[in-house]
Structure 1
Amino acid sequence: MKGNYVQVKKQQGIAYVSFNRADKYNALDFNAFIAIDRVIKQLKKDRDLQVVILYGVGNNFCSGLDIKSVMKSPLQAVRILLKGLPGNANLAQRISLGWRQLPVPVIAAIEGCCFGGGMQIALGADFRVVSPTAQFSIMEAKWGLVPDMAGLVTLREIMPKDQALLLTMTAAVLTADEALKKGLVTEVVVDPMQRAETLAQMLMQTSPDANAAIKLSINLSWTASIRCLLRRETFSQIKLLMGRNRAIAALRQGKEPERPYEKRQSRW
């Protein structure tokens, strides 16, 4: 799977998704939105997939929206923001929200700048492992805009409201350590890619169906009512008990520790 902006390389159950516009610090033009959205849809269909690792080439994750490029064509801006119903995700929102909706763990390995739309994409990942020199900013207010790529879905789960307001209204640039203190990132490490690969191997030791169910349950239940949480837990557990990977997980704890898991169930 290739595109002008995104490349995907799959190795032993891990999809390495790279943003490839290094000369522009991996800034997002219209084609980048289309390419990321297409890759997410393709990965969602891959039942052999177990983990996704996101990263940017050229030692930067993503510097955000390439405003000059997008604004050259008003039609492109409309297509990015267009949606059928107010509550549906548009193209801009899908390239952040889509990573949350994949039924596999998604790790963002972040170096360099992670600004604006890049920060929104990173917020769509389940884990953000970052280099000590990485920098972060929800930068839209600097351009007189509101963050509108669905990053708030994650932001409201990981950060107090006053801190989210302060970070968003000031468009402040945070160091890696500052971002860690605010809960914006998961870990600060010397080599984010190496840590992402180690974490991927750890995640692949558990059932892909269990990982899918846990991700779905936590994401949908985090701000839901207790009744919804209890219903979802029970539904997921019954589905797991009926699946082959639950039996394989039990075998891996005893007689067959190297027994491979089967493909993930078709729907989560």
Structure 2
Amino acid sequence: MARKYIKLQIVNGVAQVVIDRPDKYNALNFAMFKELDDVISELRKELTVRVVILSGAGGNFSSGLDVKSVIQSPIQPVKLLFKWLPGNANLAQRVSFGWRNLPIPVIAVLEGCCFGGGMQIALGADIRIAAEDARLSIMEAKWGLVPDMAGLVSLRELVGKDQALLLTMTAKIMSARESLDKGLITEIDSEPMQRALALASEIANTSPDANAAIKMSINRSWGASVRSLLSRESISQVRLLLGGNRIIAAKRQSHKAKSEADARSGSKPEYKQRQAWW
């Protein structure tokens, strides 16, 4: 489908998703929520995708919700927040939580401003690589609102409760260095997109089934009981042992162990597409 604000390109198993409204610092209007949700759904079905890189156009990740645009139509806030059951994710929450639910590693490249709703989306990624001059803020309190896009699911895993309260209540704008010190981002790099591409290439060389199992096991077991964790580990391992990519991973490691001269004589076995059950 044609999208106006969210660009998706898949090359060699790496999906690049770009929030593309640079004239508004990639501020989020209603159409962008819909398009992000559609992209997440599409990527879930793309079994050949190994890694997702999420970024913003024009040197900024996102300045957050475009409040003026969203409230122009009374029905748009309703559509963003509506859910059939309180425990379900609504549209506003799916564009953050949806990245966590993808059985694919997601890397967010943070440049310029990453505020409010933009920060909530970034928190849904598995890895966050920030430019040296990036600025980050959980900004909802500034507008008299509570962060309500599911970013708190990740935030509680990244920082202590006191820091979560401090960051959300003050709406403080932090530098990349301060964000790294607090654990909100994974790395700082002078060329964050190049670093993300290199990391994506590294991850793409490992089994997509193993990566899916690792991501799901960690996300779903992080705060779960030990019994739940042990059960999920065992189920995942059985699935991996029965899948073809585990054998291919072993062959690739054997290939790597050969002498350099021998290695040049043959190519590494290619992974099959990701198993659909993750």
In the superposition, the TM-score normalised over structure 2's length comes to 0.95
**2:187 aligned with 1:179:** no
Map of 1:229-244 to 2, 5 A cutoff? Answer: 229-244=229-244
- 2:275 corresponds to which letter in structure 1? Q
Paired residue secondary structure (1:55):
strand
- 1:237 corresponds to which letter in structure 2? Q
Name 1:259's counterpart in structure 2: 269
Deviations 1:3-47 (A, max 9, x none): 111010110000000011000000000001000000000000000
Deviation at 1:200, TM superposition (A): 0.3
- 2:97 corresponds to which letter in structure 1? L
Map of 1:117-266 to 2, 5 A cutoff? Answer: 117-255=117-255, 258-266=268-276
Name 1:73's counterpart in structure 2: 73
- Separation in structure 2 between the aligned mates of residue 128 and residue 168 of structure 1, nearest angstrom: 19
- Separation in structure 1 between the aligned mates of residue 203 and residue 57 of structure 2, nearest angstrom: 24
Tell me which stretches of 4 or more aligned residues in structure 1 moved more than 3 Å. none
- 2:277 corresponds to which letter in structure 1? R
Paired residue secondary structure (1:114):
strand
Name 2:116's counterpart in structure 1: 116
Paired residue secondary structure (1:8):
strand
Deviation at 1:266, TM superposition (A): 0.7
Deviation at 1:257, TM superposition (A): 6.5
- Separation in structure 2 between the aligned mates of residue 39 and residue 267 of structure 1, nearest angstrom: 19
Aligned residues: 268
Paired residue secondary structure (1:10):
strand
Name 2:47's counterpart in structure 1: 47
Paired residue secondary structure (1:136):
strand
Paired residue secondary structure (2:254):
coil
Could you list the runs of 5+ residues in structure 2 that have no partner in the other structure? 256-265
In the superposition, the TM-score normalised over structure 1's length comes to 0.99
Paired residue secondary structure (1:254):
helix
* Greater gyration radius: 2
Deviation at 1:241, TM superposition (A): 0.3
- 1:264 corresponds to which letter in structure 2? R
Deviations 1:162-203 (A, max 9, x none): 001000000000000000000000000001100000100111
Name 2:263's counterpart in structure 1: none
- 2:273 corresponds to which letter in structure 1? K
- 2:62 corresponds to which letter in structure 1? C
Segment of structure 1 superposing worse, 162-171 or 254-263: 254-263
Name 2:261's counterpart in structure 1: none
- Identity value in percent: 60
